[in-house]
Chains A and B, each alone.
Chain A
Amino acid sequence: EIVLTQSPATLSLSPGERATLSCRASQSVSIYLAWYQQKPGQAPRLLIYDASNRATGIPARFSGSGSGTDFTLTISSLEPEDFAVYYCQQRTNWPFTFGPGTKVDIK
C-alpha cells in the first residue's frame, strides 16, 4: 500500500498570504495524484487531478506541481473561503490512498 504523508499538519496563515502544502508518497505515483479541499460538514471537493490539472470551476489561485514522490499544492493568495482541510490522494495503485490532511487555518 502506498503511504502518503502531508506536511505541515497545520498551516496558520492570513488572508492574502501564499500557502504551500506538501504531499510525499512512499513510492512513485508518477503524476497520478489529486488534491481535495474539505470544509466542515461538507464532502471533499476535487481541486487538482493528475498533479497539475485544475478541476472544472477551480480558481486559478490553486495550482499543483510535482511528479514521482513529491508534490505541492499552492494557493497563491488565500481567500477567506480557502481555510479548510486539504487532502492528497494517489490513484497509481489500489487502494487509492489518501494522505492524513493539512489544515489551513486563520492566523
Chain B
Amino acid sequence: QITLKESGPTLVKPTQTLTLTCTFSGFSLSTTAVGVGWIRQPPGKALEWLALIYWDDDKRYSPSLKSRLTITKDTSKNQVVLTMTNMDPVDTGTYYCAQSSGTAMGNWGQGTLVTVSS
C-alpha cells in the first residue's frame, strides 16, 4: 500500500521561507521512472504544479515559481522536501505531494493547508 503524508507549518509570515516534507511508504524513489511532486491549490481554485523530482534526481520546477523553489529527496528516509522562499499571502492554499510511477499521479497525500499571514 502506497501512502504519502505532508508535514510542515500551517502558518507562515510574509517573506518567510516555507519548508514542507513529504514522507512516503510503499514505494522507493530509487526505482526507475518513479517521481514525487508537489501541487498546490488555493482555496476554491484549481490545482497548480510546483515541482517534481524523479528517481534519477532530475528536477522540474514551475517556470513562474522557479526562483523561489527547491526540491530535494532523501531516499534513505523516504522523504521529499520542498522549500519556497519569500512567501506571500497569495501562496495560501493546500499543498499536496503525489507520486507517479511513470504515468499520471496515482497516489496523493491528504494535503496540508498553509496560511500566509502576518
The chain A residues found within 8 Å of chain B, CB to CB, are 1, 34, 36, 43-46, 49-50, 53, 55-56, 87, 89, 91, 94-101
Contact = CB atoms under 8 A, between A and B. Distances in A.
Interface residues of B, number: 21
Top 6 A-B pairs, shortest CB-CB distance:
A34-B104, A49-B104, A43-B108, A98-B47, A49-B103, A95-B49
Contacts of A46: 104-107
A31 B113 CA distance: 33
Interface string B56-95: 0000101100000000000000000000000000000000
Interface of B: 37, 39, 46-49, 52, 60, 62-63, 96, 98, 103-111
Given A43-B109, A98-B39, 14 more contacts: A34-B104, A43-B96, A43-B98, A43-B111, A44-B108, A50-B104, A56-B106, A89-B104, A91-B104, A96-B49, A97-B49, A98-B46, A98-B48, A100-B46
A1 B63 contact: yes
5 contacts: A36-B47, A46-B107, A49-B106, A53-B103, A99-B46
Interface SS of chain B: helix, strand, loop or mixed? strand
Contact of B47 (A1, A56, A87, A91): A87
Contacts of B98: 43-44
A28 to B, nearest CB: 18
A1 B110 CA distance: 27
B97 to A, nearest CB: 10
Nearest to A50: B103
Contact of B46 (A43, A91, A101): A101
Contact of B49 (A43, A44, A98): A98
Contact of B60 (A43, A87, A94): A94
Given A43-B96, A43-B110, A95 B60 contact: yes
Contacts of A101: 46
B3 to A, nearest CB: 12
A34 B46 contact: no
Contact of A45 (B39, B49, B108, B109): B108
